[in-house]
Each structure stands twice: as C-alpha cells, then as structure tokens.
Amino acid sequence: MRRRIQESLLDWTVAALEETGFSPAAHHRYLVSELEALSNGAHDRLMILMPPGSAKSTYASVLFPPWWFTQHPQTSIIGASHSRGLAGHFSRRVRALVLEKQQYLGFGLGGSGRAGDAWSTSAGGDYLSVGVRGAITGRRADLVIIDDPIRSQADAESKRHRDHVWEWYKSDVTTRLKPGGKVVLIMTRWHPEDLGGQLLEQTPGEWRVVRLPALAEPDDPLGRPSGTPLWPEWESRKALERKRHLIGERAWSALFQQNPMPAGGRLFSIERIAAVEAEPESEALVRAWDLAATNKSGRNDPDWTVGIKLSRDKTGRYCILDVARIRGTSHQVEALIVSTAQRDGTKVLVAIPEDPGQAGKSQMSYMTRQLAGFHVIAERETGSKETRAMPLASQVEAGNLSIVRADWGRTLLDEMRDFPWGKKDDQVDALVRAFTTLSARPRTAGPVAMTIFNR
C-alpha cells in the first residue's frame, strides 16, 4: 500500500479520503493528473481555475503537499493565501494529515518546528505558511502554492490592492524560488486584472492552465457536453442556475465560469453554441472578412485580418465552418482573400467591408477584379460594433448557432465571450458581417456569379 501511494498521487488521495466517504470525481482526477505532472517535471507553473465549492483547495493545497514530500523529501514548501489565517488553516490541515497518515507516507513530523504555520518533516522537508504580502524574506522554496490570493470582490475591484498583490508576487515570491522551483496558483477568478489575469498577460505561455467552468462550454477539457455541471454529484445544474440568477451574469462569468469581464456584461452566451463534428447541409454559404494590414514585428500586437465561413440551412440555423487569419502586409492580405475564395469555390459568397471615401472605392474595385467570377458583396458599416452584433447575439441566445469542432474554435469563442470588452474583436466583426450577409438573403435564393456594391 505504501509503495503504491508513494508512486501515485491519485492512490494517495483515495487513501487519504477513505474515512471521509468521499472519492475523487472526474474533475478531481483531472486536477490530480496535472499536479502529478508538475511534480514529475512536465511543467513548473500550474494555474488552477475552478468555481467555489469544487474542492480544488482540498486536492491542491491539502492533499498534494504531503505527497510532494514523498517525491521530494528534502525540499521546502511555502503555502500562501489572501490572509495569514487562511494560509495557517491549510498548513494545519496538511500537518495533521502527515501526522495521521505517516504509516502510508513513510515520514512523520520533524523534531523541531511543530508550530501551525512553520513545521518540518522527519525526512528533512519543511513547510511555511504566509499571507499574501506577508514577508518571506530569508526563506527559500522549491514549491510555492498560492491559494485564493484575493479575499473578496471589493479587493478585486481595488486597483491598489491588485497592484499590491502583483508586486508581492514579482518581488517576494519569484525571488524566493530556488533554481527549478515550481509555482501552483489556485484561485477563483474575480477580475480581468487579478493575479491570474496579470500572469497570463505578462508571462504568456509560461503557465499550464487548468480552467474548468461550473457549466461546461464547447471543447470542455473533461469532454462534458455544453451546460453539464462540473460536479453533478455535489451540485446540480438546477442549483447552479439558481445561483446564476441570484448573483447576475457578471459575477457568474467570473466566479463560476472563470472568465471575468469588466463592468458592462457580455453580449454572447457562448455556452449555447453547440460544437458539431462535421459540416451540416446548407442552402447558403458566405466567407466574410474583417481587414487589417499591419505586420507583426517585435512586441507590437496588431489586429488580425480574419475571414470566417458561415453556413445557413433550410431551417434558418447557422454554423461556423472555418476561420482564416493572418497578420500581414496589404499584399499578403489580398493574396489570402483570393486563395481562400478559390479554395471555397464560387458557391460561397465573399463579403468585404468597404471603407468610406475614394480610397475605399478604389480598394474594392481592385479586389473585385481579383475575385472575378465570385459573388462579392462590399458593404459599408454603420452603427457601433455592439449594435451590429446584437442580431447575431439573439440567434446565439436562441441556440441557432453551432460551430464545427476545430483547433481555431477556442480562440474564436474566447473572443466572443469577451466581446465587446476584450482586447481583440476582429473575429467577431467578421462573424457579424457573415451573419448579416446571410440573414439578408431570401431562404430560396441561391448564389450567382456577380458583384454587388451596397452603398
């Protein structure tokens, strides 16, 4: 038993929870596999984003540290939380577990350092608990576990407090890590610029992110159908929807779906967009473009040129079939539009925005010549982006939009979720143009090889 437990974090969690009557659910097993991968060196930064009541702290902050010591006996752990009290609570639970299960773990408590916030193991490991912004000068860590760095919505809304937490992480946590040290961040998202948001923005690509929303969204990591509860044995969809109604969409999106938004709410209910495995039959097709012509260089973050292919079937349902994107020069953009049209075929409409003024007319005249034989619709945009997107949002709310499962889908859905407050909206603009183009066409009409200019 001891050998099996020391070799498997999952076996350890099962044994440790045996007397409680609980056992790991599907999302716990997924989390356990990610924690074990971190321990084994697969990655060194793990961000765990789950809703309240998902037992993320039980597994990551209480059950994981004792098992870590079986793999790395003579190492140091620092456990941090928004307050010294909460950090000490986790520390005492870990310490009690070591004392209770030492026959399984192969070690017990050390002869010195038995206080609740600082203690050692008989194998040479040590554990220290601190509050966020608490001093950890003079201590070094092989593993830092930060659990709930933000106490409340009020703290999350305070830019001063968010800045303090961010500076604490940069100045205290990272400088205390030993070479090769690892960090686990466990939190419920509160704000776009909370600690998790800052890390994802400032250190992109460094973090392995485990994001599991309360109600599944398309391409769920656990393979759940959209709308399925994270832990149905514990909390049903009906119970979660009751909370959603009580706290409102903004708090729900942040706390339960792990997608915080600025004040103002969201437009698209992306959880209502079903993922399909194959293209459905269609009576009308369009590839709509949103244009940009700035190449990416250095640290600049230019807009994308995006072309989205959308279909409509005989019942009036829409499906997103493909996304083409590029950050390039004007010549590269034009080449992509032409090559994509040739790949799509003449049955697919091509919708392109026309800028006002003579320059826009000249550009459209040129593009029309390049797309001879295709049905090109050039249209000027009027009104705000949000106003133009509302008819599509209504179709999403009604469940009339689906998306073909593909690698590009997650980026598009994330942008739709954040609209109109996200940093990028190029894909949303292209999708709105595609929907507007198809919805304006009679159901019985078929595409013809011609060019139309709508002024």
Above 90 in pLDDT, residue 269? Answer: no
CATH of 270-454, one of 3.30.1300.10, 1.10.10.10, 3.50.50.60, 3.30.420.240: 3.30.420.240
Q: Do 2-256 and 270-454 share a fold?
A: no
Range 295-317 average pLDDT: 82
Query: Which residues neighbour 321 within 8 Å (Cβ) at sequence distance 6 or greater?
Result: 279, 285, 309, 310, 311, 404
79-136: pLDDT as tens digits: 999 998 999 999 999 999 999 999 889 999 987 655 678 899 999 999 999 998 776 7
Residue 447 confidence (pLDDT): 39
Residue 449 confidence (pLDDT): 35
Residue 48 confidence (pLDDT): 97
Residue 437 confidence (pLDDT): 93
219-244: pLDDT as tens digits: 899 999 989 999 999 999 999 999 98
Above 50 in pLDDT, residue 445? Answer: no
Per-domain boundaries in the chain: 2-256, 270-454
- pLDDT bracket for residue 387 (50, 70, 90): confident
CATH 3.30.460.10 fits 2-256, yes or no: no
In terms of pLDDT, which residue wins out, 378 or 340? 340
Residue 112 confidence (pLDDT): 61
Give the mean pLDDT of the chain: 87
Residue 299 confidence (pLDDT): 53
- pLDDT bracket for residue 341 (50, 70, 90): very high
